[in-house]
Structure 1
Amino acid sequence: MADQLQDVIQRWRKAVVEGGLRPEDQELFQNAGLTCIKQGDTSKLLDFIQDEKNQGIVESMGCGLLAPLVAEVLRNNSLTCHAVITHLAKTCSPTELMLILLGQVDDLHPDLIVVTIKLMAPHLQTVLLRLGEQKAPWVGLTLVALQKQVSRLPVPYTKEQEAEDTHGLCSCCSALVRFVEPFVEEVKRTCSGRDGDTASDNQLKTELLKFCMGSLREPLLQAQLDQSIDINQQSQLWHFAKVILAMLPAIHEPLPRLLFYKALKTKEESDLQTDSVKALESRACLAYLLFVQLITIENFPMVFSPVFVLQCNMEYIDILLSRKDESFLLKGLELYTTCLEKVENNSLQVELLDLKSFYRVPQHMVQILTVCPIQHLRRKAIKVFQLYIDKLGPEAKHIFFRCMMKTSRHAGVEGYIIKNIKNQIALSLKSGRESEWFVGIQVVPLLRQVLCFPRGPETDLLHSMDRVMESLNLLRYLLMRDKDWPLTSGIWPELCKIKEDYLKVLRVCLALSRAYYAGEVKTMREDRKAQAQEARDARGAPVQTMRVKEEKVSDMTPEMQYQVLQCALVTFDLMESLVVHIEEICEEKVKTGTAV
């Protein structure tokens, strides 16, 4: 048997030289190799392929053994099979090897993603480096295949999960970093050493740029990336982010070009720097890492004004805040805060409000403030919302307040805006701080918008409490400070008319709302008396559904419903007292002759 095998090997060696290998030779060689693998006798296979005399045979027919060898390594982690694969990667046809290796990476079982990537990445790198000038498109295909599998792995949510790396995402990212290192060095070397790059150099650079942008979107955009004070405790994903951002200037890709300028939509760059959602998300993560986490900020030129940086980043803040994921929202809020903090107060001009992002971002902020269930995001949102208001110039504030009063449709937000309007009027009444937008005739349209009831007498005062209370406080303040308004007495006839119309509708609303809720309280008292014994027997009140003005509020016990109704009546009393106080102010000014 051994003699027969030696005769076959001798014939193969001769056929390789003469170019006479037949399909049945390939089949025979593959069957022999499979037999060695199945029987666990891979040491003989290794000896055979490492024999210098057999290199022609291995080069011609060795690729057929690659797939079963990979399967064996994944099954048993055979070191001998590792050695065989390594030798084949250095010997066989690079193009044929690439097709087989990429086939092994495609469509993996989730449990095999990590081990396969860690196994295949070094061999893929070896084969690609053998391709010379033809490597660029293959590098692109390989990176796409590897990133596709990595994107299927869950992103750690906490530092503890990241340290444990149960699903292997961090180790895969480290494997990707090692994989791209020689190609980055090649681009770095060729870009620095030539007057003009070749087509191959440019394509390799483009593929690496695609890899960087893809990595920024997945997994870095979903990851919790907070810098640790102790450099030894910095996470693997933090290190991965640093490598990606360092890679961009290394391959001569200017950061301002990526973030601030629209590239020509060439075929090579169409999915990198256009306005597609994926491209925007990648650049949004880049902006966050650069301006918030300050990764490689030393490579960013400091010639751009803070307003320009904010204007450019608003597009990315918009895309981040439009998502529902906590990681997206947090990155958007932090990027927004960082950009605003560098802008001077009262410096943002009204022209910026015409930009789509300057309209959409405040709308997203309202959604976070009113809908987001995560408390720390709401707290952060209200701070940055006020910070944005502080940065607007007087005219921009005026226009922004009017826009928010028209679009927010939430009493709490409207009340917050009205409070800011009052503060701006108070500030403008100070000597040297006058603004025609808050003490001149321009303030009248704003006051009309604030001191009104869009739904008329049918307004539910309980739901509108925040807006109504702030409106009454504003009205009282305006009436008390009438002497402090310089050269603007022309607004007072308008203000008096606005006041009369507002209070007239408010009285009707109070009468209707108080009658409705008082009736509900009376009904509940009667029901409680009738059901008292039943409630004691049941040892607990049944859960009911409460409706206020035909709108479902929540599921609550009868006792909670009763407390809500009582609070509503107290609120109406408070509103009534403010109305009375305002009327007293007006009467006092008439008596003293100070009313305008």
Structure 2
Amino acid sequence: MNEDQVNDIIKRWRRTPEQDLKAEDYQQFKDLGSACLTQGDGQQLLKFLQDHKNQSIVTSMGCVLLAPLLNEVVKKDKGVDRCEAAITHLTKTCSPDELLHCLLGLIEDINPAAISETIVAIVPHLQTVLQRLDERKASSVGLALSALQKQLSLLPVPYTRQQEEADEYGLCRCCAALAQLTKPFIEELKRKDGKCVAEDEELKTELLKFCMRSLRQPLLEAELSRDRKSSLWLFATEIMFILPAIQESLSELLFFTSLKRKTLMDNNQCRESQACLAYLLFVQLIAIDRFPAVFSPVFVLQCNMEYINQLLSSKRESHLVKGLALYRKSLESVQDNSLPVSLLELKSFYSVPQNLRLLLTDCPMKHLRESGLQVFQLFIDKLDAEAKHKFFRCMLKTSNHSGVEGFIIKNIRKQVEFSMKPGNASDWFLGVEFLSLLGLGLCLPQGAETNLLHDMDRVMECLNLLRYLVIRHKELRRNADVWEELCRIKDKYLKMLRVCIRMSRVYYSTELKVLKEDQKLKAKEARASARSTKLLKSITVKHERVSDMSPEAQHQVLQSALVTFDLMESLIVRIEEITEE
């Protein structure tokens, strides 16, 4: 198409009312504009758009040029400034409703390979369009933020410091752009000073939705630290200060969530957002000066347990890290030995320790297991005597893990020692009530057939507890009935344990003998090999079959088992010697 033909078309467009323009006109206008950009004539296109004689054309059909202009901006070729100027002119000239429709369509159809570049390019112009709207501004702001966050959720969240600084996928830049997008609307609400009409209330709701979605994605996934004011940390700070700016009470959001707020997203998503809010507030202390100081530490802990449970139920490292940190912070403010037994009747006070137990036993990440064990001990320290007693009984019945059971029995011994100090006497750990707990702890799960290697942690802690009890017999003898029953439980346990050790010693000695013979003779006979395999199949150490180990490792395990049995037997002898003395 030559220049004269183009000029004739433009003249026709100038004379044609908007309502008489056809679909072919819009397509032709877009094709001409795209051709200018392709040929590097961005300056000519900008001049055409800014010419006052063409404003009727621009007002009517200018929206169709947003896509090609934005593509040029995203590609960052020469002439980006002219394309930006052209988009700016269109956003101030065309119908804001049509512009919004076009921009939302562009956001929905973003090229997956250019999500961050497109969002960063589109947000300033989207802000201009939204501010021009007179009607349905609140719902339009909500649609825009939701569409942007939907695309943002497709970007991987940087977890390490190096990833965040590199910002390879542009998530951090996008978060900063979204925070900037909300600012004029927040300022608009602040100017109202609480005197809001229905439209303002709707805008507040849309901004609240934006904050709650941001808390869940990306902030719940991100590594945040007060010591490093990273991009995502700054975004978290923005979110935490938007909430009070739009008259949303942090305490109400966390502790008194209304039905209206719960409808903002599904219940699980809402809890995740609230969990992140609690983490930012109580662990990272962002906006803590905006939080009322009237709530007791026990009340805060009780409310936070729901969010802690939500985080510890997850398999994601970022969630577990935040859950443990929030649990620790919530406990640290509580006085030792103060949490009453009534709290253990709450669902969350049962679920959280059980999830923590699973983390301690199943989580492959050592740093989480170590942190989890510290928090587990901290929780125990905060329980009063009756609550400790009930909690120990519950864990001994439900844990099914020797390491956890050994940890609980070690705490039972510590609590007995504490109760023997002046002013700390408690029937729960010195009186009749203690006997039921002792009987539950001093038992062998499978009787004489118990795998002592598998249950070594529990058995050793049981023996240490018994040794302590017989050493401190004077305090316990003050109640003759208690002492008599304690001795009966002790004798029954030690008798069964001796039988178990004797059977285990014979079994493991035989295994060691067979292994030595096989190594020495290097026998190839199928019968001997089958016999060895059959014998070793049933032995497991730390969830690993001995039969799967090398002969050298098998020898070490079997030898260590015999040494362990010697140690157990020496402790039994020592307990009996102290008893006789």
TM-score range, shorter chain: over 0.9
Q: Distance in 2 between matches of 1:522 and 1:269?
A: 67
Query: What residue is the counterpart of 1:553 in the other structure?
Result: 545
Which of 101, 104, 116 is equivalent to 1:102? 104
The answer as to whether partners of 1:545 and 1:552 remain within 8 angstroms in 2 is no
Residues in 2 aligned to 1:524 and 1:336: alpha-carbon distance in whole angstroms: 49
1:462 partnered with 2:457: no
**CA-CA distance at 1:563 after TM superposition:** 1.0
Q: Distance in 2 between matches of 1:360 and 1:193?
A: 41
Shift of 1:105: 1.3
User: Are positions 1:489 and 2:485 aligned together?
Assistant: no
Superposition deviation, residue 437 in structure 1: 0.8
The separation in 1 between residues aligned to 2:382 and 2:270, in whole angstroms, is 29
Instruction: Determine the C-alpha separation between the residues in 2 that align with 1:337 and 1:29.
Output: 63
Report the equivalent of 2:528: none
1:287 maps to a residue whose letter is A
Letter in 2 for 1:16: P
Partner of 1:141: 143
| Alpha-carbon spacing, 1:76–1:295, altered in 2? closer, same or farther (3 Å) | closer
Mapped partners of 2:523, 2:494: distance in 1: 42
| 1:13 aligns to 2:10 (yes or no) | no
Residue correspondence of structure 1 range 552-591 to structure 2 within 5 A:
552-553=544-545, 555-588=548-581
Q: Give the direction of change, closer, same or farther, for the CA distance of 1:524–1:23 in structure 2 (3 Å limit).
A: closer
Letter of the 1:75 counterpart? K
Match of 2:246 in 1: 251
Distance (whole Å) between structure 2 residues aligned to residue 383 and residue 559 of structure 1: 36
**Deviation at residue 548 of structure 1 after TM alignment:** 4.5
What residue number does 1:187 align with?
189
2:221 is equivalent to residue 226 of structure 1: no
1:91 lines up with 2:93 in the alignment: yes
1:192-239 CA deviation, whole Å, 9 max, x = no partner?
151xx22211111111111111111111111111112xxxx6211111
> How far has the Cα of 1:371 moved from its partner?
2.1
Structure 1: distance between partners of 2:412 and 2:372: 19
**Closer/same/farther in 2, CA of residues 344 and 76 from structure 1, 3 Å limit:** closer
Q: CA separation in 2, counterparts of 1:544 and 1:217? A: 52
Mark the runs of 5 or more structure 2 residues left unpaired by the alignment.
525-532
SS of the equivalent of 1:490 reads helix
Contact 1:226 1:293 survives alignment (8 Å): yes
Letter in 2 for 1:399: K
Alignment equivalent of 1:240, drawn from 235, 238, 258: 235
Q: Structure 2: which amino acid aligns with 1:512?
A: M
1:216 aligned residue? 215
Are the aligned partners of 1:347 and 1:391 in contact in 2 as well (CA < 8 Å)?
yes
Cα contact 2:240–2:287 (8 A) shared by 1: yes
Amino acid paired to 1:72: E
Is the contact made by 1:177 and 1:243 (CA closer than 8 Å) also made in structure 2?
yes
Q: Determine the C-alpha separation between the residues in 2 that align with 1:386 and 1:280.
A: 26
Post-superposition Cα deviations, 1:28-58, rounded to whole Å, max 9, x if no partner, equal: 4334323323322222221121112221221
* Counterpart-to-counterpart distance in 2, 1:343 and 1:35: 70
Q: What's the CA shift for 1:15?
A: 2.6
Q: Is the Cα contact below 8 Å between 1:544 and 1:558 reproduced in 2?
A: no
**Alpha-carbon distance change, 46 to 107 in structure 1, aligned in 2, over 3 angstroms:** closer
Residues 525-577 of structure 1: per-residue CA shift (max 9 Å, x gap): 101102399xxxxxxxxx99964437743643211211111111111111111
Alignment of 1:167-206 (within 5 A): 167-190=169-192, 192=193, 194=195, 197-206=196-205
Please state how far the C-alpha of 1:471 moved relative to its aligned partner: 0.8
- Give % identity: 57
Residue identity in the other structure for 2:15: K
Alignment of 1:263-302 (within 5 A): 263-264=258-259, 266=260, 269-272=262-265, 276-302=267-293
TM superposition shift of 1:161: 1.7
**How big is the shift at 1:380?**
1.4
Q: Deviations 1:482-519 (Å, cap 9, x if unpaired)?
A: 22137532212321221222122112211211111111
Cα 1:564–1:20 change in 2 (3 A) is closer
Instruction: Indicate how the Cα distance of structure 1 residues 585 and 71 shifts in structure 2: closer, same or farther if over 3 A, else same.
Output: same
2:539/2:545 contact within 8 Å kept: no
Deviations 1:89-109 (A, max 9, x none): 111122221121111112433
Q: Which residue of 2 aligns with 1:262?
A: 257
Name the count of aligned residue pairs: 567
Contact 1:546–1:561 under 8 Å retained in 2: no
Matched letter for residue 30 of structure 2: Q
Local SS of the residue matching 2:443: coil
Q: Partners in 2 of 1:435 and 1:500 — Cα distance?
A: 24
Aligned to 1:428: 419
Separation of aligned partners in 1, 2:194 and 2:274? 29
Alignment of 1:72 with 2:64, yes or no, is no
The whole-number CA distance in structure 2 between the counterparts of 1:269 and 1:433 is: 46
- The residue aligned with 2:512 is 521
2:33 aligns to what?
33
SS at match of 2:545: strand
Amino acid across the alignment from 1:235: S
Separation in 2, partners of 1:410, 1:316: 26
Length-normalised TM-score, structure 2: 0.93
**TM-score between both structures, scaled by the size of structure 1:** 0.91
Amino acid at match of 2:571: L
Instruction: Check 1:546–1:519 CA distance in 2 against 1; reply closer, same or farther (3 A cut).
Output: closer
Instruction: Give the stretch that moved more between structures: 143-152 or 243-252.
Output: 143-152
Question: Residues 480 and 23 (structure 1 numbering): CA distance in 2 closer, same or farther, change over 3 Å?
Answer: closer
Residue 476 and residue 41 in structure 1: after superposition, are their counterparts in 2 closer, same or farther (change >3 A)?
same
For residue 248 of structure 1, what is the amino acid of its counterpart? L
Q: Deviations over 1:308-355 (max 9, x none)?
A: 001111111111112222221111111111111100000000011011
Farther-moved stretch of structure 1 (488-497 vs 108-117): 488-497
1:348, 1:392 within 8 Å by CA — same for their partners in 2? yes
Q: Deviations over 1:143-194 (max 9, x none)?
A: 111111112112222112211212211111111111111111122222x151
Deviation at 1:271, TM superposition (A): 3.0
Flag structure 1 segments of 5+ consecutive residues without an equivalent.
534-542, 589-596
Is residue 425–residue 438 contact of structure 1 (8 Å, CA) maintained in 2? yes
Query: Which residue in 2 is equivalent to 1:323?
Result: 314
Q: Distance in 1 between matches of 2:183 and 2:84?
A: 22
| Larger CA deviation: 572-581 vs 289-298 | 572-581
Map of 2:206 onto structure 1: 207
Which residue type is aligned with residue 189 of structure 2? V
Given the alignment, which residue of 391, 394, 399 partners 1:408? Answer: 399
Cα offset, 1:69, TM superposition: 2.2
Q: Are the structure 2 counterparts of residues 23 and 469 from structure 1 closer, same or farther at C-alpha, using a change threshold of 3 Å?
A: closer
Taking the TM superposition and a 5 Å limit, the aligned residue runs for 1:158-173 are 158-173=160-175
Amino acid at match of 1:121: V
The aligned counterpart of 2:530 is none
Preserved CA contact (<8 Å) 1:544 1:557: no
Instruction: State the alpha-carbon separation in 2 of the partners of residues 31 and 153 from structure 1.
Output: 32
Greater mean deviation of Cα atoms: 251-260 or 74-83: 74-83
**Pair 1:51–1:248, CA change in 2 (3 A):** same
**Distance between the aligned counterparts of 1:30 and 1:381, measured in 2?**
61
CA distance in 1, matches of 2:173, 2:189: 25
Which residue of 2 is the match for residue 504 of structure 1?
A: 495
| Letter of the structure 1 residue corresponding to residue 579 of structure 2 | C
AA aligned opposite 1:125: Q
Tell me which moved more, 3-12 or 564-573. Answer: 3-12
State the alpha-carbon separation in 1 of the partners of residues 86 and 63 from structure 2. Answer: 11
